[in-house]
Structure 1
């Protein structure tokens, strides 16, 4: 997640944090991470409001590495 991503959802708790009490922040982060607002709320409840931690939690095993992509292309 680059700095340009962090600035897409400013909120009262800080640019790199997700304010789960803000409908606007939830909507923006849900769209950005391609998940539902409920999934954002749940992730914030489990790992805290740091956007990077929430993103990593949500990606979980769905995340692929470059090696995975290269092997799939072969």
Structure 2
């Protein structure tokens, strides 16, 4: 992370940070899937939140 406070950007909510435990846990809880299933979806579909949401919902149907 840069120490340059003038170089700030907004959060990127369109992506799921699969390497961050809290994001992985949140995504798994949101969709009622296991952490391992969430990690597998990220590996299979990438980290685009909309794509992952659709894939997780398909698991539950």
Report the TM-score when normalising by structure 1: 0.59
Unaligned ranges ≥5, structure 1: 1-12, 63-74
Give the stretch that moved more between structures: 53-62 or 27-36. 53-62
Match of 2:28 among 24, 27, 30: 30
Report what 2:49 is aligned to. Answer: 51
Q: Over aligned residues, Cα RMSD in angstroms?
A: 1.7
Distance, in Å, in 1 between the alignment partners of 2:23 and 2:49 is 11
| Whole-angstrom distance in 2 between the partners of 1:36 and 1:43 | 11
- Where structure 2 has 5 or more consecutive residues not aligned to the other structure, the ranges are 1-10
1:60 positional shift: 2.0
Q: Identify the structure with bigger relative contact order (alpha carbons < 8 Å, sequence gap 6+).
A: 2
Task: Say how many residue pairs are matched.
Answer: 50
- In the alignment, which residue of structure 2 is the partner of 1:17? 15
